[in-house]
């Protein structure tokens, strides 16, 4: 079946540091890939997405590129802020149906 | 637009008791989802509705969990009887449809603690 694996967390960075959160997936066919973010006390919010190989999703300074050859969708940001502190979830959606399969999440803490 | 509303936000019960969670999706959203998020894990889909019909309930523990969306708008998720391992956040989400182009909007969740 489909699965998503995220780097083991949590991740603690200083403000303005470079961020990478690794995500790899296993799926049949050509899934769409997503990053969701969950701020404390809030629901999950879509951060960015990519629907086909080599697509780059970007939003709020975050980027992720759909790499079919390595089955990866790593999240990056060049300079994190304290306000980026949250839990980040990588997810995939199969080409048929609309079920989202999530990774286990990565807690990011950014210190001033 | 108003977001996805869920209630209650928090619930504490003892094992073998029952509990119900309510979700009101964004107006006009035909597709509604219930996810279970156990602490330290990613959300897992329990059930998906398209209007008032069930599209996917393959991961719903049907011996104790039930869900309905009778009028194709709001939905209720029930657990009876609850077990300790049901302690989790129950997330409701909605979307216009179930195509790849439709983005899911999540509610803030209902946190259940089973003692």
**DSSP string spanning chain A?**
--EEEE--S-EEEETT--EEE-EEEE-SS--EEEEEEE-TTS--EEEEEE-STT-EEEETTEEEE-BTTTTB--EEESS--GGG-EEEEEEEE-SSS--EEE---EEEEEE-
Please enumerate residues of B whose Cβ is less than 8 A from a Cβ of A. Answer: 3-4, 31, 40-45, 48, 55-56, 91, 93, 95, 98-100, 102-109
Determine the pLDDT at residue A18. 97
Higher pLDDT, B99 or B109: B109
Tokens 């995500």 appear where? Answer: A23
Determine the pLDDT at residue B67. 97
Q: Which whole number is the average pLDDT over B42-71?
A: 93
Q: Which residue ranges of chain A lie beneath pLDDT 50?
A: none
Determine the pLDDT at residue A2. 86
Chain A CB contacts of B110 under 8 Å are: none
Determine the pLDDT at residue A7. 79
Chain A CB contacts of B48 under 8 Å are: 98-99
Q: Which whole number is the average pLDDT over B19-35?
A: 95
Q: Which whole number is the average pLDDT over B57-77?
A: 94
Determine the pLDDT at residue B1. 63
Chain B CB contacts of A4 under 8 Å are: 42
Determine the pLDDT at residue B45. 93
Over 80: is that where the pLDDT of B7 sits? yes
Question: Do residues A87 and A107 lie in contact, with contact meaning Cβ atoms separated by under 8 Å?
Answer: yes
Tokens 């029930």 appear where? Answer: B78
Determine the pLDDT at residue A100. 87
**Which residue among B3, B40, B56 sits closest to A99, beta carbon to beta carbon?**
B56
Q: Which whole number is the average pLDDT over B39-64?
A: 92
Two tokens, residue A78: 């060049």
């Amino acid at each position: 079946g489909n699965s998503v694996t995220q780097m083991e967390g949590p991740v603690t960075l200083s403000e303005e540091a470079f961020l990478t959160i690794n995500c790899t997936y296993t799926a049949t066919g050509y899934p769409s890939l997503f990053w969701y973010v969950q701020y404390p006390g809030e629901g999950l919010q879509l951060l960015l997405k990519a629907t086909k190989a080599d697509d780059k999703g970007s939003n709020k300074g975050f980027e992720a590129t759909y790499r079919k050859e390595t089955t990866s969708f790593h999240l990056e940001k060049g300079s994190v802020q304290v306000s980026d502190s949250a839990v980040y979830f990588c997810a995939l959606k199969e080409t048929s149906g609309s079920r989202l399969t999530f990774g286990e999440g990565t807690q990011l803490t950014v210190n001033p | 637009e108003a977001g996805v509303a869920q209630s209650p936000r928090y619930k504490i019960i003892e094992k073998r008791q029952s509990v119900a969670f309510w979700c009101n999706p964004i107006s006009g959203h035909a597709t509604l989802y219930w996810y279970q998020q156990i602490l330290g894990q990613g959300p897992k889909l329990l059930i998906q509705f398209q209007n008032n019909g069930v599209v996917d309930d393959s991961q719903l523990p049907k011996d104790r969990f039930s869900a309905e969306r009778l009028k194709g708008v709001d939905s209720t998720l029930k657990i009876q009887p609850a077990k300790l391992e049901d302690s989790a956040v129950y997330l409701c989400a909605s979307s216009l449809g179930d195509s790849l182009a439709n983005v899911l909007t999540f509610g803030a969740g209902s946190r259940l603690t089973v003692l």
